[in-house]
Structure formats: structure tokens, C-alpha cells
Amino acid sequence: MRDCRQFYIDGRWVAPNEARDFTVLNPASEEPMAAISLGSAVDVDKAVAAAKKAFESYSITTPDERLAILRQIIEIYRSKMDDMAKTISEEMGAPISLSRAAQATVGLSHFLEVARILSYYQFERLQGSTLMSKEPIGVCGLITPWNWPMNQITCKVAPALAAGCTMVLKPSEIAPVSAYLFAWILHEAGVPPGVFNMVNGDGPTVGAAISAHPDIAMVSFTGSTRAGVAVAMAAAPTVKRVTQELGGKSANIILEDADLEKTVSEGVQACMRNTGQSCNAPTRMLVPRSKIAEAAAIAKRAAEVLKVGEPRLDDTGIGPLASKAQFEKVQHLIYKGIEEGAKLITGGCGRPEGIRKGYFAKPTVFSGVNNEMTIAREEIFGPVLCIIPYKDEDDAVRIANDTSYGLSGYVTSGDIARAQRVSKRIRSGNVHINGARLDFSSCFGGYKQSGNGREWGEAGLEEFLELKAIFGYGAQER
């Protein structure tokens, strides 16, 4: 079992102010895999003090100096890639194939993209005699989840470093070991003491202390909408900037001219990927009413060929859910779908056949779902797909937008112009046309209760900057 009970503060590994051990479980075996400490407000104070002191010098470094740090991190991250993939797979259950192809590599992708942007980004621009200057916002609190641990850590840390900010990271206590490895990467890369700090802990204690801290200028939070509301409320008295990437209930609109076999099969895979634990998963599949039975049959076949099992095996397609609490939530919502009259096509409650230990759920497909059912309204965060019929294009758009969330949308059509037209009507921060993949140079974030602010690309960098106007900067001397 790994001992990860120290915090990273001011360039050193330090003991917590008060010992509060927490055992991290491997969700596939339900056995302990690491021990961390749960921090306190005192530990947060120490980390913030180190970040505040380091900000004085780090905030005035040149872009070239910061770019050199990013490039060193990239080099070391590459050397630790396989260790990172194995760690993520062990701590939160992602199949090792997914960990190697996406979970670990996405962290490198964010650093590469931010380094590319920093190589050309203009922090100052003269507008007449006024200098428009973009400056680092200050000490940042970064609170990240367990479902894509490196994605969410690096898409915050990389732009914060590039902007000239210092920071305190609180990773999820459910999957903190990859963050521990990440802190070692930054230490080995020579990130100056105090620039990056990490305190483990739970949301009500460490998360709340970060959110409310008067010396933190910005909080970047990723997690549930419920927790995001708590962060915003704690941050409000100090009027700090809060950016949030929260929940989702994304609609996958399959128009009648789409290739149904291909699109439904791919939609099932996208929904079930990472055991359905992705905020942008296409969990509501909208299908023309006349094709609902055919779509359900295709989805059943696609779900039933997915291999659920031990994450360490190369041919595993779906691993366990990340925790007991998540397993119980998913089981409750599957039962709720059956109770409310949705038609269970495949899957259902309980573990898959032959599996008696671990937080494994059956890949589940419901048809006959209407948009008022609980499983169509709430974010399940598990391998559960809802197939919903629609009458026509306008009805599909109405159903897609009839949600409190607005993170992602998906539109498939044989007519690209039609798909483009429909995509512009979807009220979400991201829309995928005909299976288009994510673009790390673009932006990521949501409308409505899916959050505010943007991550990734230039938009993500600018969340960590303040815009200052200096009047008369370019004026002639008198």
C-alpha cells in the first residue's frame, strides 16, 4: 500500500498539521491501495501563505521563463506516462487501455497545448496611448474530481503556470495518488518553491477553506453541480473569481438520415466509456420515433459486447465505478428507471454475472424513456443510456435543451449543413457533429447549471488573467 500522507507545500513534502488518515480503495478489488492524510484549514493556510509569497517573484517572470518550466514538466511527464496510467487505473478503475490511450495522455496534451499558446501569446497590447495589459490574477485554488484526474488537474495547473499564477491544489480524496505522482513531476521539473502546492482533503473541510480563503484570488472547480454551488457560496464573501465545470446530461441527436447502425453503436460506446463517468457523456440518445425499436436493438447488441472486468487486463472495456457511494447511486437510479416505467433493454441492477466483488455495474440501456423521468433528468454518472423518441427536428432540439444542464451536445446527420444548423440551436458549451473528437486548442465548459467560465486553449489561459488598462502609457513626453 502506498504511503501518500504528506502534503506538498513550499517546494517540500511536509506532514499535516494534524494526523487524519484516509484509506484509498482500489474499486475493482475493494482493497486498500494507498493512505493519504485529510488536511485542515491550518494546512490550507500554510499552503496559501507559501503561494502568496511565491507570487511576488513568479508573477513577474517572463513568458520565456515560464515556457522553459512547462517544457521541463512535459519532458518529465513523458517519462512517467506508464506509471501514471497504471496509477489512475488502480485508483479509480479505468481500464488500462483507456488509461494509456486517454487518462494519462490527456495530461500531456494540455501541457503541450498551453506551451504552444504561451510561445506566441501577447500579454500586452498598446491601444492608442493606453496599454491593455493581461496580468496573473494571483493565488489560485484548484479543486479537482476523481473521474478524469489528470485531465482536470493539468487543464488548470498548466494555464495557471503559464499565466504567472501560484496555486494550491486539492485533488479528490477518492483518486489522489495520481496527483501525488504529478506533484513529484513538478518537483523534479524544478517548479519554484511555493508556486505549486498540494493539500489533500475532503470538500467540506479543505475545499471549503480554499473557497473562502481571503488570500486566494480565484477558485477553479470541477465536480458536481451541488458541490459547485457550495464552492460559489463560500467564495462569495471575498468576491473572488469562480470558474466551474459541473454536471451534464448531454443529448445525442440522431437525425433520420444518419447511418443508424453506426451512430447508435458509437453512441453506446461513447456513453459507456470510462464506465459512464464523464460529465460530457452522451447519455440521452434522441432517435426518430419510427426508428426507436431498431435503435434499441442495435444499442442492446452494442452494450452486450462490452467486456466488464478487471481494469488491468488489456481487453477490458469497462472497469468498476470509482467508489461504493457511486456504485450505490447508479444502482438506485437504475432501479428508479425501472420503477418509473422505462423499458429495460439490457443490464439492470446488480453486478454483472460472475463478478462478486468490486464496484462493477452492468452496462444498461433503457428505451421508452420520456424526458420527465428521473433517469432523463439527473446525471447518473454510470454506464446507463436512455433512448428517447422524438417527432421531428424541432422536437429533438426542444428535448435536447429541456435540461438544467448545458455542457455538451451531439448531432449526427448525413447532411452536414443540416447538422451544422441543428448544432447552433443546442444550448450547450460544446457540440460534436458526426462524431467529431474534442479539440484541446478550443475550449471546454458549459451553459446553465453545467458551470461558468472555460477551460482549455486560449480561453482557459485567460481565466487566470486580469485585464488592466494603463492610460497614457504610450503618450509623448511633455
Q: What is the pLDDT of residues 26-60, one digit of tens each?
A: 999 999 999 999 999 999 999 999 999 999 999 99
Q: Is pLDDT of 442 > 90?
A: yes
Q: List C-alpha distances in Å: 435 to 114, 151, 411.
A: 25, 21, 8
> Would you place residue 478 in the very low, low, confident or very high pLDDT band (cuts 50, 70, 90)?
low
Q: Is pLDDT of 477 > 80?
A: no
Q: 340 and 373 in contact (C-beta within 8 Å)?
A: yes
pLDDT value of residue 367: 98
> Would you place residue 475 in the very low, low, confident or very high pLDDT band (cuts 50, 70, 90)?
confident
pLDDT value of residue 221: 98
CATH H-level superfamily of 2-246+446-470: Aldehyde Dehydrogenase; Chain A, domain 1 (3.40.605.10)
Q: Mean pLDDT across the chain, nearest whole number?
A: 97
Tell me which residues are annotated as active site.
245, 279
CATH number of 251-433: 3.40.309.10
**CA 6 to CA 12: how far, in whole Å?**
9
pLDDT value of residue 154: 98
**CA 131 to CA 188: how far, in whole Å?**
37
pLDDT digits (tens, 9 = 90+) for 293-344: 999 999 999 999 999 999 999 999 999 999 999 999 999 999 999 999 999 9
Q: 451 and 243 in contact (C-beta within 8 Å)?
A: yes
Q: 348 and 334 in contact (C-beta within 8 Å)?
A: yes
pLDDT value of residue 391: 98
Q: Against a cut of 0.85, is the pTM above it?
A: yes
Q: List C-alpha distances in Å: 187 to 184, 349, 381, 419.
A: 5, 45, 34, 47
**CA 3 to CA 16: how far, in whole Å?**
13
Mean pLDDT for the stretch of residues 367-382: 98
Largest CA distance in the chain: 85
Task: For residue 283, give the DSSP letter.
Answer: -
Mean pLDDT for the stretch of residues 251-274: 98
CB proximity list for 325: less than 8 A, separation 6 or greater: none
pLDDT value of residue 18: 95
Q: Is pLDDT of 467 > 60?
A: yes
pLDDT exceeding 90 applies to what percent of the chain? 99
pLDDT value of residue 476: 75
Task: For residue 290, give the DSSP letter.
Answer: G
Question: HSE-up of 118 (CA within 13 Å, CB side)?
Answer: 26
**CA 98 to CA 458: how far, in whole Å?**
27
Q: Where are the domains of the chain?
A: 2-246+446-470, 251-433
**CA 72 to CA 283: how far, in whole Å?**
39
CB proximity list for 393: less than 8 A, separation 6 or greater: 255, 422
Task: For residue 102, give the DSSP letter.
Answer: I
pLDDT value of residue 3: 97
> Would you place residue 405 in the very low, low, confident or very high pLDDT band (cuts 50, 70, 90)?
very high
pLDDT digits (tens, 9 = 90+) for 54-95: 999 999 999 999 999 999 999 999 999 999 999 999 999 999
DSSP of 428-468: SSEEEETTPPP-TTS-B--SGGGEES-BSHHHHHHTTEEEE
Task: For residue 366, give the DSSP letter.
Answer: E
